[in-house]
Structure 1
Amino acid sequence: MTSYDFRNLNDKEFELLCTDLLGESEGVRYEQFKQGRDQGIDGRFFSPLNGTTILQCKHWIGSPFSTLLRRLREEELPKVTTIAPDRYVLAVSTPLSPHQKEQIRESLSPHIRSCGDILGADDLNALLRKHEHVAQRHYKLWINSTAVLRRLLHADIHTRASVVLKEIHAAARLYVETPVHIQARSQLERNHVIVLSGAPGVGKTTLAQQVALEAVAAGYDFVDVASIEDAERSLTEGRLQVFYFDDFLGESYLNALSGNTGARISSFIRLVRRSADKRLILTSRSGILNMGAATSSRLAEVNLDPNRLEVEVSALSRIDRARILYNHLWHAGLESKYVDKLYEHSRYRNIIDHRNFNPRLIAFICDPLRLRSVHPELYWHHVMHLLDNPADVWDQSFHHQLDDYGRLLVRLVVSNGGRILETHLRAAYSRFLAIASRNQLSGHREFVVSEKLLVGAMLNRIVDPARPTTLTVYNPSLSDYVLPQICADTNFFHDCIISLGSKSAVETVARFMKSGMLSRGDASALGGALLKSVTDDIVSFDRSFVASVCVLHQTTSTDETRDKSNLRNCMSFLLADDLYVSSDTLFLAAEALGRSDLAQGTAKNLAKKAIDSIAFDDDIRSVSSLVYGIDDDDPEKQGLMDQFEQRVFEIAEDDIDGFCDVAAVLSGIWEHDEHAAWQALTDSIERRLDELEVYPGDPDFAKELLRRYNIADALRRHGIRDDEYDDAYVSRSSSYNWAISESSDVDDLFSRP
């Protein structure tokens, strides 16, 4: 039997629910009033036959019954006596026994006719079970119903995903459903893929999480994606799955733009678009997404524009902003002496109307844990300072609440792309402290002590029994704050990267350079210094790290500044017989070798190892320069070229839809025009081969591919666009339609009893 928990509602949301539910139950429309306008009235209905009915709602969860009874007698009885309605109905969010109802009736006598006009939590639940569509109109109530909770509890999901899902569900109490939520939900169901983009702090991650939570409640399995490998590994045919990929370009920016990661993400997006039982929710900073689309041919080809939804603070109405602030104040657990400061002179208006208002800042100013060093008398000054200077939101915590060792750990995590295995962080921390010039730090040196101080404030610690423990930055805005400090000191940055010894850390350098945060000159100097440090102790480093450093140096140096001697030493190391334990290392080495002037003598050996490992079309580009760069008089060259081109054929044949973006190519072609489709697909395949720098010896390469492809079926799928969709779970009406109307005054929302 479904039951509903009212604790996630604030008092105004509870009033809206009760007026909606009682009106539905009695077949009437209750007129709504705010406490600031009509004392003692939350809803009113007038009938010529029965006169005026007044509804009063009390959301005092956690208060003992004796307190409830006393407050009703002392505060509500005088009000209702003044109003003198023909009928008075009381709804409370706590359970009531028959005896307690009788006590309330006597306390409010003679205004309550019978105990039937006193509704406790059990009575409200009974009405909601009769009128389930009412519950569905109130998102935070519906998402916390036992029916939904059972789906979440019994969902077939991985342990880590289960932890993330529970965190998302717990965060629903702070969530305010706005029109963009309805738009996002509808767009996801229509297109199967949605990319929520926006500036930092606008709430795109929270929105993505709540839309994913709705999908899980509708029967989808939840997959939390930290990398494209997670998505590919978790994909299960025949199951409803929703994939949640937060900041999908942020952590692997270099690969997302130029390596096989970008190709794999693009292929996965195409796959989900074609799959009726899959949903994909992505988030990205607007700037990063725009740069990715402009510089990555693979992302440009997949054309994310139809799937993109920009989340903007400017789209929030004034009452939306007010609801966000009010909801945080209700649930955050701030002491009244802090909250009172926001009510003085209606200061909440200044927050709502501030030019820098965004949901992330609201969460910060309402978080009791971040106010431990802020005296109540200074709270308003603290709030306005953060709103006026949003970049300083982390300044107090980072510089005044952490010691040198704590700041070092945060900088190491940020330098690694914002995510790192705990064991790797511990090792990097030890290596950094072993550097002679870095032994003058002060504070708690012990790793465990520093980590405990950071978790929950600066870092997230993700524990999964099935996987190694991982640490991530608490919030992307922390990375935004720390990154300029790291870039300003390239010697410190160098020591961080060497200590981390990871491909992710090297990718961070490339990301900084592409964003303009790190000048090309500084990036070149850093790449050269890293190459020298790696060569000096090469056996201590992972080969993927060595290959990444080689690529970085080659892409940031000139012919005059390139360190060919150290590159040659690294290449010898990379070409060791026992090298290739991972394909990532293989293709990084291939790219590094292909960029160098050392390719003639060593390309053949690497090409032999690389060809069989090609799994994705963008792997092809890393190998092509090696194969075609072999000396023409080498007797093995033709055989390797044939082997390479055969592997390319197999990759393309396995997924022609993704290889040349069949959906885009055929979107403007009539479904019966197979000749036009054949020509368009042939041209597309040949263009793709040129992009991958593949020059087949067989002139009919593209035609042979298409002879094995069902063009008629592809035309049926993509030749005609059908905008009619069956919205599986979009039919749930939005509580936003029942929210406080735009014409309501913000002061009504913030009115106190």
Structure 2
Amino acid sequence: MLNYDFQILSPIEFEEISRDLIQNHLNIFLESFTDGKDGGIDFRYSSTKENAIIVQCKRYKTFKDLIYVLKREANVLDNLSPSKYIITTSVGLTPMQKKEIKELFKKYIKSTKDILGRNDLNNLLGKNPEIEKKYYKLWISSFNILNNILHSKVYNESNFDKDTIKSIAERYVMNPSYSNAIKILNEKRYVIITGIPGIGKSTLARMLAYKYLGEKKCNEYVYMSTSVDEGTEVFSESESQFFLFDDFLGGNFLDNNLKINEEKKIVSFIEKISKSSNKFLILTSREYIYRQAKAKFEIFNRKDLEISNCVIDLENYTKLVRAKIFYNFLVYNNVDYKFIENTTFNGNYNKIINHPNFNPRILDIYINHEYLKTINPSEFTAKIMEFLSNPEQVWQAVFENHITNLSRCILTIILTTGTPIAKSDLNQLIGSFSEKYSNKYNVNSSTASINLSIKELENTFINVRADDNLLSYIEFKNPSVKDFLMYYYKDESIQIEDTIDVAIFINQLIKPFTKNYVTEYDDKSNETFKEFNLVLTKRIKQIILNKVFNNFDDIPSSTLRRRFSRIRDYKNEFMNSYVSRANILDDLLDIIPISESNLYKNFVIVKFNEIAENNDELIKDPYSFILLAEKLGAYYEGNKIKFLQRIIQNLKSLDMVELFYKLKNNFHEEFEFVTNNEFFRYLVTEWAKIELRNKPIYINEDTLQTISKIAKYFNLDYGFFHNFAQQIDDEITENQYKDFQEHNSDIEDEINVDSFFPEDIDSKISEMFSSLKASGY
């Protein structure tokens, strides 16, 4: 027997499922009413009093709450005098409790069969699977489905728990993008979800993940947050896996930490998934960043990627969908009744759901914060309208007026470090800042004060997580928080200067001043995309140089990365990233050119030559080593031939071979000497064969493009590599492709959500918000 908990449904959804079940059970049509036409009626059958059936739907958690409300409403029925009275409730009822309710309405309830509790509704759902399928929230919250989801093997996701899943599900409103994404996933095995910030990309992605895990189409869930390598590390041909790469461009391509040819790795991984029979992949990106990446990288303009793009925009959010989103925020955030009254007065909710900048994230931030306690309920609708018209004001109002000084300082520190950051490292930075600037900023860095501030910021500005080793770490709640802080401090240098003055970690000295990308809004509230970095003032520059001069070889990094292992019992663990001196010096030269001063120039040249002679640095970070040699090769004072030969011995991929070619300008004759020989040709040929051989189940077009360039650089025979790739492709049997085609042809019919929407949308919305007001929810 089914055992759904109907509490996950909102009040209006509980009414709707009650109506659908009773209509099917009694084979009748029930009329619906908005508040004010017939008090005490949710649904009615027949227009005459003699044979009228009245239905009341009561969504409560406990019998105590239910019976209290029913006792208050008992007298109302005397004015209606129905021939039959039916009660549905989300509360599970005992025979004695049903008897008590029947006694309360003995004039109108003739049998306890007309009192439908949780068990009765589950029984009816079991007989009506088409209704069960319609209410997806029930499905995802059921014991069996949650059990399937929670017992899937999870990689890299710490908040994969029952409460989080139910919280996301209960707030989600089905819209056409859901069915569209499912169709693409079933046909292509992957989908790229794009849209404006806050429109619901990540929520849709997680709902899809829950669906595929709940239906046991996949038994492993892999969350990727920084690089496609996180997915590659745990990819297993034999396991059914669901991959989610959230904001896959936001943290890779446009934040100045692009790994070499990362865009090709992304597309190669997509192709690998598309040719599999037991894998699914979702990638999400802010729409404007995806457009920018397509302009920058030709590989993202491929036709098959365009076909698999699911764009979420306001057109997906019909008026009814918007109304349900807003309604859910009011219900599940337990908004005070006085604010509800302001929303329903004269249909104020229409102003919000019809606003051209309607955005779920803005509503979530505004409604789910202590900020509501500081405004008059009569201003509720007007304030929401103001924030929708000027989205950046949402963060600014809370940041400036509704958090403590210490909380503001903590956010500023996190802006300079980037996230994720270990809470222990953050505590150290807070102490360092407070020790010098406590009086200036009126902050107290006691443990109690820090914990209070973290709690104040949590779930609005930041998320606090823990890995499998219980390492506590902090992340920005979403990209728009960082965007806001970057924009907020664009003209405010003093607090940034003071924060950098007491910086402990190298990433604080460099990351905020390199190229970042933020969202801005024009006078009409349209989003624009802009390269952005904090201003490198004269004071900040001097602070950075002093710290680098004094502590270059030992300055630590707070940057965290996930620990990877190819062993299948993988754990979600974070560790401090290794940051080589070559990486530090290369990044430093990006923000402070070598021409800054003779003292700085001499320092850079000395350190470069030290690094150039350190073979351990080359082995650990050849990529940064080559980039630094490209910038400073002219200043190298050692044996250039041996230097280049050491680099060649540590080339790890075709991508690095391609990058290595850039050293030709600085080393000229030495470069020709070390590359114009059989050993180098053999090395490049073997790398090319390895990479082509590792990709037998998907097209090698991108790899061949790289090989084509390298062949021109070093006078190699491209025809050999092309023939080798063709030979590998020919080894793929027709049966492999046949099996793949047969698997993809088995596509289930998905729910047409539009069929659930009634024709009279305005009446439906009015009914929804009126019932919210009437219930005093």
Shorter-chain TM range is: 0.7 to 0.9
Mapped partners of 2:290, 2:634: distance in 1: 35
Alignment partner of 2:761 out of 735, 743, 752 = 743
Tell me, yes or no, if the aligned pair for 1:194 and 1:307 is still in contact at 8 Å.
yes
Aligned equivalent of 1:227: 226
Written as runs of structure 1 = structure 2, the 5 A alignment for 1:230-309 is: 230-252=230-252, 253-254=254-255, 257=258, 259-300=260-301, 304-309=305-310
Residues 91-116 of structure 1, C-alpha deviations (whole Å, 9 max, x = no match) = 22112222332333343344334222
The amino acid that maps onto 1:412 is I
Does 1:99 pair with 2:96? yes
Does 1:595 pair with 2:631? yes
CA distance 1:227–1:590, change in 2 (3 Å): same
CA distance 1:312–1:405, change in 2 (3 Å): same
Mapped partners of 1:332, 1:240: distance in 2: 36
The amino acid that maps onto 1:592 is L
Tell me, yes or no, if the aligned pair for 1:510 and 1:552 is still in contact at 8 Å.
no
Aligned equivalent of 1:150: 147
Aligned equivalent of 2:511: 506
Secondary structure in 2 matching 1:621: helix
Higher alpha-carbon deviation: 55-64 or 690-699: 690-699
Alignment partner of 1:538 out of 552, 564, 570 = 552
CA apart distance, 1:329: 1.1
Written as runs of structure 1 = structure 2, the 5 A alignment for 1:493-642 is: 499-502=504-507, 506=511, 509-512=514-517, 516-518=530-532, 533-541=547-555, 544=579, 546-552=581-587, 564-577=601-614, 579-580=616-617, 583=620, 585-598=621-634, 607-608=644-645, 610-611=647-648, 614-626=651-663, 632=669, 636-637=674-675, 638=677, 641-642=680-681
Tell me, yes or no, if the aligned pair for 2:246 and 2:284 is still in contact at 8 Å.
yes
Aligned equivalent of 2:688: 649
Secondary structure in 1 matching 2:371: helix
Higher alpha-carbon deviation: 444-453 or 550-559: 550-559
CA apart distance, 1:633: 5.6
Aligned equivalent of 1:66: 67
RMSD of the alignment, in Å?
Answer: 4.1
CA distance 1:544–1:528, change in 2 (3 Å): farther
Aligned equivalent of 1:442: 442
Mapped partners of 1:350, 1:581: distance in 2: 61
Written as runs of structure 1 = structure 2, the 5 A alignment for 1:259-408 is: 259-300=260-301, 304-408=305-409
Aligned equivalent of 1:674: none
CA distance 1:520–1:153, change in 2 (3 Å): closer
Aligned equivalent of 2:704: 685
Mapped partners of 1:496, 1:621: distance in 2: 40
CA apart distance, 1:391: 0.8
The amino acid that maps onto 1:751 is S
CA apart distance, 1:423: 3.7
Tell me, yes or no, if the aligned pair for 1:190 and 1:727 is still in contact at 8 Å.
no
Aligned equivalent of 2:488: 485
The amino acid that maps onto 1:539 is D
Higher alpha-carbon deviation: 616-625 or 605-614: 605-614
Secondary structure in 1 matching 2:212: helix
Aligned equivalent of 1:706: 725
Secondary structure in 2 matching 1:333: coil
Mapped partners of 1:504, 1:301: distance in 2: 38
Higher alpha-carbon deviation: 648-657 or 3-12: 648-657
Tell me, yes or no, if the aligned pair for 1:43 and 1:55 is still in contact at 8 Å.
yes
Written as runs of structure 1 = structure 2, the 5 A alignment for 1:22-33 is: 22-26=22-26, 30=30, 32-33=32-33
Does 1:216 pair with 2:235? no
Structure 1: gaps of 5 or more residues: 666-680
CA apart distance, 1:312: 1.1
CA apart distance, 1:687: 5.9
CA apart distance, 1:405: 3.8
Tell me, yes or no, if the aligned pair for 1:260 and 1:616 is still in contact at 8 Å.
no
The amino acid that maps onto 1:333 is N
Mapped partners of 1:93, 1:298: distance in 2: 53
Aligned equivalent of 2:568: none
Mapped partners of 1:627, 1:277: distance in 2: 45
The amino acid that maps onto 1:547 is A
The amino acid that maps onto 1:232 is T
Mapped partners of 2:728, 2:542: distance in 1: 48
The amino acid that maps onto 2:344 is Y
CA apart distance, 1:529: 8.1
Residues 396-443 of structure 1, C-alpha deviations (whole Å, 9 max, x = no match) = 321233444432321232344443233443455556668x79984321
Structure 2: gaps of 5 or more residues: 520-528, 557-577
Residues 271-328 of structure 1, C-alpha deviations (whole Å, 9 max, x = no match) = 2222221111222111111111211345446963222222112432222111111111
Mapped partners of 1:431, 1:696: distance in 2: 56
Tell me, yes or no, if the aligned pair for 1:484 and 1:517 is still in contact at 8 Å.
no
CA apart distance, 1:211: 1.6
Mapped partners of 1:226, 1:238: distance in 2: 24
Secondary structure in 1 matching 2:244: strand
Aligned equivalent of 2:467: 464
Mapped partners of 2:498, 2:658: distance in 1: 32
Aligned equivalent of 2:567: none
Does 1:122 pair with 2:125? no
Mapped partners of 1:455, 1:9: distance in 2: 26
Mapped partners of 1:295, 1:57: distance in 2: 56
Does 1:135 pair with 2:132? yes
The amino acid that maps onto 1:223 is V
Identity %: 21
Tell me, yes or no, if the aligned pair for 1:205 and 1:283 is still in contact at 8 Å.
yes
CA apart distance, 1:495: 7.2
Tell me, yes or no, if the aligned pair for 1:503 and 1:545 is still in contact at 8 Å.
no
Tell me, yes or no, if the aligned pair for 2:172 and 2:325 is still in contact at 8 Å.
yes
Higher alpha-carbon deviation: 602-611 or 522-531: 522-531
| TM-score where L is the length of structure 2 | 0.81
Secondary structure in 1 matching 2:514: helix
Residues 672-706 of structure 1, C-alpha deviations (whole Å, 9 max, x = no match) = xxxxxxxxx9xx82565317975353454424523
CA distance 1:356–1:492, change in 2 (3 Å): same
The amino acid that maps onto 1:697 is L
The amino acid that maps onto 1:510 is K
Does 1:181 pair with 2:184? no
CA distance 1:693–1:325, change in 2 (3 Å): farther
Mapped partners of 1:404, 1:480: distance in 2: 20
Mapped partners of 1:718, 1:186: distance in 2: 21
CA distance 1:744–1:95, change in 2 (3 Å): same
Mapped partners of 2:158, 2:537: distance in 1: 37
Residues 7-32 of structure 1, C-alpha deviations (whole Å, 9 max, x = no match) = 11111101111222233445555554
| TM-score where L is the length of structure 1 | 0.84
Tell me, yes or no, if the aligned pair for 1:412 and 1:500 is still in contact at 8 Å.
no
Secondary structure in 1 matching 2:728: coil
Mapped partners of 2:542, 2:658: distance in 1: 25
CA distance 1:328–1:218, change in 2 (3 Å): same
CA apart distance, 1:39: 4.6
Mapped partners of 1:557, 1:55: distance in 2: 73
CA distance 1:516–1:347, change in 2 (3 Å): closer
Secondary structure in 1 matching 2:248: coil
